[in-house]
């Protein structure tokens, strides 16, 4: 390489601005980057300093239907990334997108577009909250859920109540993760109140999810009767779902997801009612077999539940095989939350003293510490 340093050129570009840099400087920068064969360590801090800061930019003066369409498509792509890889990969981009979309609310828009923009922003805030929860950033997640609820409250979109209920149920999901089933039930109760006070109907998919959350909460509390009743309601609502009417935030609730939700309830219940494990095994087996790469995180966490169900059912050999698979799949995601499912599995295996169990428990504990 020639005598000029690419970092020196970059510094000049940064200080003077690209329009003030002579073409010779730019040419040397390009050739230094493309023709240098050295293997010097990548200077990430310097690269970051060259990336434009957008916070000071003025938002567009006008926002139309095509802009909201683009926001919705971006949210869909980020949601698919979260399902497939975990919130760790999608979180930063989702939060950055949310900041950009919120700034659009100051632009000139028609009343109809304003309604769409608000619900799109609320959906994006909910997704950012979920991604934060998935990486165990619980305070950030709760603040973002509040943002999402506030946006729902200030829009007349016909699906605002449906999204608000879903937000509350995601918050209840977090409460269960944090071992607060009573709080989860209270949040589900607020969701029921929102549904009851809404002038527009809440979708059957969201009602099914609400009943599933209730079933998990009752399962953790060891209330078999209430859990079974909630499971029955979830099944009734799921049977009434029209797949052609799926909303962006409920589209994932298909047969595999619903079966996983039902199986998870029986698995949670098996902590206090060991016979429930036999009900969880076939449901979680069906679900994990049906979930593909698009829902890799969902499959991974439910494999941990399936292994734990086998352990509680007394099939220790299968528990170890499936548990090993769960460990491998969870390790490939960016979901820190998923490691809590491995800790639950570790507890299920603790009663067994075989060498295979000891080895798997050691690997689980090592992975959880490293996460």
User: Could you read off the pLDDT of 150-201 as tens digits, one per residue?
Assistant: 999 989 999 999 999 999 999 999 999 999 999 999 999 999 999 999 999 9
Number of H helices, E strands in the chain: 17, 0
> Region 222-247: what's the mean pLDDT?
96
Predicted local confidence at residue 38, as pLDDT: 62
Query: Predicted confidence band at 21 (pLDDT cuts at 50, 70, 90)?
Result: very low
- Please, what is the end-to-end C-alpha distance for the chain in angstroms? 41
* Portion of the chain with pLDDT greater than 90, in percent: 80
- In this predicted structure, the answer to whether residue 93 has a pLDDT above a threshold of 50 is yes
The DSSP line for 210-253 is HHHHHHHHHHHTT-HHHHHHHHHHHHHHHHT--GGG--TTTTT-
User: Could you read off the pLDDT of 47-92 as tens digits, one per residue?
Assistant: 777 777 766 566 677 899 999 999 999 999 999 999 999 999 999 9
Closest listed residue to residue 59, CA positions, set 98, 94, 107: 107
Closest listed residue to residue 148, CA positions, set 189, 193, 94: 94
Predicted local confidence at residue 337, as pLDDT: 97
Predicted local confidence at residue 41, as pLDDT: 73
Backbone angles phi, psi at 41, to 5 degrees: -65, 140
- In this predicted structure, the answer to whether residue 31 has a pLDDT above a threshold of 70 is no
User: Could you read off the pLDDT of 316-347 as tens digits, one per residue?
Assistant: 999 999 999 999 999 999 999 999 999 999 99
Q: Is 108 helix (H, G, I), strand (E, B) or coil?
A: strand
All structural domains of the chain with their residue ranges: 6-50, 64-157, 272-371
Closest listed residue to residue 301, CA positions, set 345, 259, 262: 345
Per CATH, which fold does 272-371 belong to? 1.25.40
Selected residue with higher pLDDT from 330 and 8: 330
């Amino acid at each position: 390489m020639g005598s000029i340093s690419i970092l020196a050129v970059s510094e000049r570009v940064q200080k003077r601005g690209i329009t003030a840099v002579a073409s010779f400087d730019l040419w040397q920068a390009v050739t230094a980057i493309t023709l240098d064969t050295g293997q010097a360590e990548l200077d990430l801090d310097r690269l970051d300093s060259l990336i434009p800061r957008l916070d000071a930019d003025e938002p567009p003066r006008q926002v139309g239907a095509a802009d909201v369409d683009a926001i919705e498509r971006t949210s869909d792509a980020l949601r698919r990334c979260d399902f497939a890889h975990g919130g760790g990969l999608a979180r930063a981009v989702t939060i950055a997108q949310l900041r950009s979309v919120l700034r659009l609310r100051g632009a000139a828009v028609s009343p109809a577009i304003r309604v769409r923009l608000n619900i799109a922003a609320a959906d994006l805030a909910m997704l950012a909250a979920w991604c934060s929860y998935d990486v165990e950033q619980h305070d950030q997640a709760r603040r973002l859920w509040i943002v999402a609820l506030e946006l729902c409250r200030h829009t007349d979109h016909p699906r605002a109540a449906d999204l608000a209920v879903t937000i509350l149920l995601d918050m209840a999901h977090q409460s269960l993760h944090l071992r607060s089933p009573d709080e989860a039930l209270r949040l589900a109760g607020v969701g029921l109140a929102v549904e009851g006070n809404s002038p527009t109907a809440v979708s059957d998919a969201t009602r099914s999810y609400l009943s599933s959350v209730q079933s998990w909460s009752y399962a953790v509390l060891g209330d078999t009767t209430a859990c079974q009743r909630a499971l029955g309601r979830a099944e009734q609502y799921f049977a009434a779902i029209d797949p052609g009417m799926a909303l962006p935030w409920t589209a994932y609730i298909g047969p595999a997801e619903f079966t996983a939700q039902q199986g998870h309830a029986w698995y949670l219940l098996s902590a206090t009612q060991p016979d429930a494990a036999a009900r969880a095994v076939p449901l979680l087996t069906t679900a994990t077999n049906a979930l593909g790469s698009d829902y890799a995180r969902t499959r991974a966490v439910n494999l941990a539940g399936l292994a734990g169900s086998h352990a509680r059912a007394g099939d220790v050999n299968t528990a170890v095989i499936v548990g090993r698979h769960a460990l491998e799949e969870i390790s490939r995601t960016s979901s820190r939350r998923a490691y809590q499912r491995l800790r639950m599995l570790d507890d299920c295996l603790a009663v067994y003293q075989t060498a295979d169990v000891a080895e798997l428990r050691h690997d689980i504990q090592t992975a959880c510490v490293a996460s």
